[in-house]
């Protein structure tokens, strides 16, 4: 097949991806659940504190059709210590957010991300006299 001077072969599309999905195409248009900016900022703030404390070292974000998952690792070669999940289908029932441990135990589930993250957010508390 011959391509003109400005044409690109589809397998050589810049970014290595699908030519139908460009930077201008929003992720939600592909029917994926994502974290919004506020949610991601809150999760990354917690992640940064835990990295500074030496407890976490790596993370992964997965945007699936039914849920978004932020996984945190002590080492990148291990299973995730925690998974922070957003599942909109559960929003009206138990709440869209949940924290799941490495063993699969749901540690907390709820409607507000801040409250759900408290189960793993171990900030220092000042004890006064």
- The mean pLDDT of the chain is 78
| pLDDT greater than 50 at residue 15 | no
Q: Check: CB of residue 110 under 8 Å from CB of residue 119.
A: no
Max CA distance (Å), the chain: 81
Q: Over range 90-112, report the average pLDDT.
A: 91
Q: Over range 76-82, report the average pLDDT.
A: 83
Structure tokens at 71: 């996984």
Confidence band, pLDDT 50/70/90 cuts, at residue 12: very low
Percentage, residues of the chain above pLDDT 90: 40
Domain boundaries, the chain: 29-117
Q: Over range 11-15, report the average pLDDT.
A: 44
Which secondary-structure segment (H or E) carries 98?
A: strand 97-101
Q: Does pTM surpass 0.75?
A: no
CA distance 71 to 89: 20
Provide the 3-class DSSP secondary structure of residue 82.
strand
């Amino acid at each position: 097949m011959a391509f003109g001077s400005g044409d690109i072969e589809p397998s050589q599309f810049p970014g290595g991806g699908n030519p139908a999905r460009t930077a201008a195409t929003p992720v939600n248009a592909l029917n994926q659940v994502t974290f919004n900016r506020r949610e991601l900022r809150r999760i990354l703030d917690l992640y940064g504190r835990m990295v500074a404390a030496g407890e976490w070292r790596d993370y992964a974000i997965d945007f699936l059709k039914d849920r978004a998952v932020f996984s945190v690792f002590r080492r990148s070669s291990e299973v995730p210590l925690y998974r922070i999940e957003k599942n909109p289908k559960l929003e009206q029932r138990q709440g869209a957010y949940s924290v799941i441990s490495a063993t699969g135990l749901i540690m907390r589930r709820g409607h507000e991300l801040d409250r759900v993250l408290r189960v793993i957010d171990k900030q220092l508390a000042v004890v006064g006299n």
